[in-house]
Amino acid sequence: MGQSGSFMDLSINGQPRPLPEGATEPDMPLLWVLRDVLGMTGTKFGCGVSACGACTVHVDGKAVRSCVVPLSAAVGKSVRTIEALGTPGEPHVLQKAWIAHQVSQCGYCQSGMLMAAAALIEKNSNPSDADIDAAITNICRCGTYPRVREAIKTAARELRGAIPDGKTRPERLKAFRSCPLITSKDPCSSLQMLARAMAAL
């Protein structure tokens, strides 16, 4: 207990985050260090047993469920949370896609959902449905899943476009138009237009 000196090494979103003396214990989960010690409340508590994913953050680039990661295991590593996924000026591709597809409802699970999705597409910029099924095991009681799936595909597409992939813009646009959201008779036609315009950029 009280080895606060070594906790000085905790790095969150690229910043060293010193922890107040005696505020934490080595076995305290990272989730509670973020929320209750550092006041970073974007990462959520949902189940406490690694079952729902609301607390998902990245540790050294990997999506982890911070409710079961002891502080001692995060020390010396690079922690990234929803607060640093993007900035208002430069939103993450997923955040743009989340707006285009109007994904969120109550919003509570969305931080974890976005962090899990970010870990997926940053590793695999062309995820198949099966890849998405396997990577996104977070629980959402509002049922945003269909839009999460489409938003991930849209974001991955933009990511691929931003990275030279040998495709021309018309090719990317054609691929985007074959996306199920665009072809289905969804009432949100203006959103489709928005998404389509984004892809064409």
Partner 1 sequence: MKRRSLLLSGLGGAGALLVGWGMLPMRSRMGSADTLPVVDGQVGLNGWIKMTSDGDVMLAMPRSEMGQGVHTALAMIAAEELDVPLSKVRLVQAGHDALYGNVVSFVEMLPFHPSEREPGSETRTLATAQWVVSKLARELGINVTGGSSSVSDMWDVLRLAAATARAQLVNAASLQWKLPAAELAVKDGVVSHSSGTSAHYGQLSKMAASTRPGDVKTKDPVEWKLIGTAAPRTDLPAKIDGSAKFGIDIREPGQLYAVVRHCPCLRGGVGRVSADAAMKLPGVERVVRLSSYGGSTEGMAVVGRTSWHAMQGARALDIDWRAPAAGAPNTKAIMAALEATARKAAKEDGGFSFYSRGSLKDAQQSAARKFEAVYRAPYLAHATMEPINCTAQVKDGKVTVWAPTQVPGIARAIAAQVAGVADEAVTVHVTYLGGGFGRRLDVDFVGQAVRVAIETNGRPVQLLWPREEDLTHDFYRPAGVAVMQASFDAQGDVTGLAITSAGDAITPRWIERTLPNLAGPVDAPDKTVNDGLFDLPYGIPNERIAHVATHSGVPIGYWRSVGHSHNAFFSECFIDELAHESKQDPVAYRLSLLKDMPRHAAVLGLARDKSGWGTPLPAGRARGVALHESFGSIVAEVVEVSIESGAPKVHRVVCAADIGTVINPGIVAQQMEGAIVFGLTAALYGRVDIEQGAVQQTNFPNYPMVKLAQTPVIETHLVPSTRAPAGAGEPGTPPLAPALANALFALTGRRMRDLPLC
The least CB distance from residue 151 to partner 1, in Å, is 10
- Give the x-and-dash track for 66-85 against partner 1 (CB under 8 A): ---------------xxx-x
Give the residue, chosen from 3, 171, 189, 200, that forms a contact with partner 1 under the rule CB under 8 A: 189
Q: Is 47 in the site for partner 1 (CB under 8 A)?
A: yes
**Within 13 Å, how many C-alpha atoms sit on residue 149's CB side?**
14
Q: How many residues line the site for partner 1 (CB under 8 A)? A: 70
> What would the DSSP string read from start to end of the chain?
---HHHHTT-EETTEE----TTS--TTSBHHHIIIIIS--TTS--S-SSSSS-TTEEEETTEEEEGGGSBHHHHTTSEEE-GGGS--SSS--HHHHHHHHTT--SS-TTHHHHHHHHHHHHHH-SS--HHHHHHH-----TT--HHHHHHHHHHHHHHHHHHS--S--HHHHHHHHHTSHHHHS--S-HHHHHHHHHHHH-
Q: Is 187 in the site for partner 1 (CB under 8 A)?
A: yes
Judged by CB, which is closer to partner 1: 72, or 102? 102
Q: Is 109 in the site for partner 1 (CB under 8 A)?
A: yes
Q: Is 59 in the site for partner 1 (CB under 8 A)?
A: no
Judged by CB, which is closer to partner 1: 2, or 165? 2
Q: Is 48 in the site for partner 1 (CB under 8 A)?
A: yes
Give the residue, chosen from 7, 10, 19, 46, that forms a contact with partner 1 under the rule CB under 8 A: 46
Residues that bind partner 1 (CB under 8 A): 1, 22-23, 25, 28-29, 32, 35-37, 39-49, 51-52, 54, 81-83, 85-86, 88, 95, 98-99, 102-111, 114, 132-134, 136-149, 180, 184-191
